Every structure is written in structure tokens, then in C-alpha cells.
């Protein structure tokens, strides 16, 4: 019996608490609506939204804003709090050119009629005049430069040059800025243990450029054919060039070993005739009796081409 009586009292108390919180919530809501219904005066920073800029001009992205003093009810101020307010400036109707700048100079009445509703009273604008620097647009085609750190698995390598699609892009912006851009670099491509053909989407470093400059694309496709590679070695004849007519010389060795790295698919297509090793006699200094062999020609499909012998001995015959 005591337990039943206790449960009844607890239930009554809980209902009283729930009713109390309900009335508290209603009072709070009424207070908020009362506050928001009142009229307030405040100054707000409005960002500028530039629209209808002439195609032949580019307006520099200078930091421009308006301090506008308004008188309106709290509900309107609440919208400004949650959403950054903007003023639209139409570059076909609202501005004029003067001394290499666009000038905006509008009255309070004009702004009040075009930008705000009837419930908003515009009291003050600061500054009253805005200027926007601009320049003539220039279009320039520049190459894309790959920034890579690609490591291949042992015995694998790229069999030809990297392919960038596209390999260039259009840059549009003020002549003073665009004329200084000679290429656009990719973000760094870092890959390890690669042993399959590459097809990667790579971003460009366009975001780091000036905001007044526009680019035709912000990413490219990197492609490369990856193959199994092996090392080859061939004996290549040595030719001595630029020997004066009155000098007769003998040199040794007549052939040198040349090593190279090549894909398996191209291994059998490479022969000694694809290489040419020369020693330039005109580069001999201080009566030395040594010549330095140099690679004058080698196949494009070969990589890491090296001459094993670094010196060729010679004697002059009287």
C-alpha cells in the first residue's frame, strides 16, 4: 500500500515538473519573438558581389566591402547573422570607368530601392565611393610541367616519355600578370613500386596563382607505359675527331663497352650501329696523352647509357 502511494506522489510530482518546463519553454519562445519583433539599428559589413563584368576586362580581386548602417526588425538581423550579406554591383549598369578604374557611386535611396525590402531602412553607407582596379585580358597558351617522384619496382621502368593530357592550357588574365607565367606545374606525383601502366588524375598548382588569373583547366591525366626492363652491353667503335692534318696518332682501345637499360620489347631492336662514341682531340689540355670518350648518339629507347672506359690512351707518331 505504501509503495502504491509513493508511486502516485512521484507521478504527480513528475507531471508538475513537466508542466513547469513546458511553461518555461513557452515563456522563452514568447520572449524571443518579442525581442525579434522590435526594431534595431546596427552597422553591418556587406561583401561585394561583382556581376556582368565585361569580357575584355578583368577586375582585380581587391578586398572591397561596404559598411552599411540599417534600421530593421530583429528577424531581418537574424538572417544577416546566419548568412553573410552581399551587395550586388552590376558592372554594366552601376559603374563607370575613370582613370583606369571602375567607379561605383550610388545614393542611399538607390541602394534602398534595389537591394533592400520595405522593412529595411538604410541610414548610412561607408565608403560612399568604391573603386575597382582592372586590366585588359590577355590569353596565353603555356605548357604544363610535371612534378614527379615516381619509383618503379625492381626491373620495371617507363618505356617512353610521360604523356600529359592535355600538355598545355590557356591562361587568361591581366597582361601584367599573364605575361610572367611561362608554365604551370602539377602538384607533386609521388608513387612507389610501380609496375603497371600509369593513368593518374593530377591537379595543377593553379590555386596558388593570383586570383585574377583564370585557367582553362585545373587538372590533367598523366599516362605512361610501364614495362619490364633489362640491361644490355655492346662493344662500340671509338672515333677520334678534330685531329689536325699534320698530326698522326694511334689510340687504344679502339672499342669500348657501352651498357644501357632497355625494355624487353625493345631489347632485340638495339644494335651497335645505334651508338656512336667519339673522342674530341681539341679538348686535350696540358699535353696530356689521354682522350675522354663521349656518347654522341644512342637510341631513344635506351636508358642509363654509360661508357665503361673513361679514358682512351693515345700517342702521336712522328
Q: What's the confidence (pLDDT) of residue 294?
A: 95
**Residue 231 bridge partners (DSSP):** 261
Please check whether residue 172 is in contact with residue 142, taking contact to mean a CB–CB distance below 8 angstroms.
no
Question: What is the crossing angle of helices 2-37 and 74-82, to 10°?
Answer: 90
| pLDDT in the model for residue 134 | 82
Which cell goes with 121?
531602412
Which pLDDT belongs to residue 211?
75
Long-range contacts of 278-283, Cβ-Cβ distance < 8 Å, separation of 24 or more: 278/238, 278/239, 278/240, 278/241, 279/238, 279/239, 279/240, 279/241, 279/251, 279/312, 280/241, 280/242, 281/240, 281/241, 281/242, 281/243, 281/244, 281/247, 281/249, 282/242
Q: In angstroms, how far is CA 317 from the centroid of its own chain? A: 63
Per-residue confidence in pLDDT tens, the chain, 318 aa: 555 555 544 555 555 566 656 666 666 666 565 555 567 677 878 888 888 888 777 787 766 788 878 777 666 666 666 667 788 888 888 888 887 788 888 776 677 666 676 677 777 778 888 888 887 788 899 999 999 999 999 999 998 889 999 999 999 888 888 888 999 999 999 999 999 999 999 999 986 667 778 899 999 999 999 999 999 999 999 999 999 888 888 999 999 999 999 999 999 999 999 999 999 999 988 778 899 999 999 999 999 999 999 899 998 886
Q: What is the pLDDT of residue 302?
A: 93
pLDDT value at residue 287: 77
Distance in angstroms (rounded) separating the CA atoms of residues 116 and 85: 11
SS (H, E, C) 221-260: EEEECEEEEEEEEEEEEEEEECCCCCCEEEEECCEEEEEE
Phi then psi dihedrals of residue 32, to 5 deg? -60, -45
**Bridge partner list, 18:** none
pLDDT at 105: 83
**pTM assigned to the model:** 0.56
Contacts of 302 (CB under 8 A, 6+ apart): 232, 260, 261, 262, 270, 274
Amino acid at each position: 500500500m505504501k509503495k502504491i502511494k509513493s508511486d502516485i506522489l512521484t507521478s504527480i510530482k513528475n507531471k508538475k515538473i513537466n508542466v513547469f518546463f513546458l511553461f518555461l519553454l513557452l515563456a522563452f519562445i514568447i520572449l524571443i519573438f518579442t525581442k525579434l519583433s522590435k526594431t534595431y539599428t546596427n552597422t553591418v559589413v556587406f561583401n561585394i558581389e561583382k556581376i556582368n563584368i565585361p569580357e575584355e576586362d578583368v577586375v582585380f580581386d581587391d578586398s572591397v566591402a561596404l559598411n552599411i548602417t540599417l534600421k530593421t526588425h530583429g528577424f531581418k538581423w537574424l538572417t544577416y547573422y546566419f548568412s553573410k550579406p552581399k551587395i550586388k554591383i552590376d558592372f554594366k549598369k552601376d559603374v563607370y570607368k575613370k582613370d583606369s578604374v571602375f567607379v561605383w557611386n550610388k545614393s542611399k535611396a538607390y541602394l534602398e530601392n534595389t537591394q533592400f525590402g520595405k522593412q529595411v531602412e538604410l541610414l548610412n553607407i561607408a565608403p560612399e565611393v568604391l573603386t575597382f582596379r582592372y586590366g585588359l585580358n590577355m590569353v596565353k597558351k603555356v605548357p604544363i610541367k610535371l612534378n614527379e617522384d615516381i619509383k618503379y619496382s625492381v626491373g620495371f621502368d617507363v618505356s617512353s616519355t610521360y604523356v600529359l593530357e592535355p600538355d598545355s592550357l590557356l591562361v587568361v588574365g591581366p597582361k601584367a600578370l599573364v605575361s610572367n607565367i611561362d608554365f604551370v606545374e602539377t602538384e607533386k606525383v609521388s608513387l612507389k613500386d610501380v609496375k603497371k601502366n600509369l593513368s593518374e588524375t593530377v591537379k595543377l598548382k593553379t590555386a596558388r596563382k593570383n586570383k585574377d588569373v583564370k585557367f582553362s583547366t585545373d587538372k590533367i591525366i598523366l599516362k605512361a607505359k610501364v614495362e619490364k626492363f633489362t640491361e644490355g652491353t655492346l662493344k662500340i667503335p671509338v672515333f677520334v675527331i678534330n685531329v689536325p692534318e699534320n698530326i698522326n696518332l694511334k689510340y687504344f682501345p679502339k672499342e669500348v663497352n657501352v651498357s644501357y637499360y632497355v625494355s624487353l620489347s625493345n631489347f632485340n631492336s638495339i644494335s651497335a650501329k645505334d651508338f656512336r662514341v667519339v673522342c674530341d682531340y681539341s679538348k686535350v689540355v696540358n699535353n696530356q696523352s689521354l682522350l675522354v670518350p663521349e656518347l654522341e648518339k644512342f637510341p631513344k629507347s635506351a636508358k642509363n647509357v654509360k661508357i665503361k672506359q673513361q679514358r682512351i690512351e693515345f700517342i702521336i707518331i712522328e
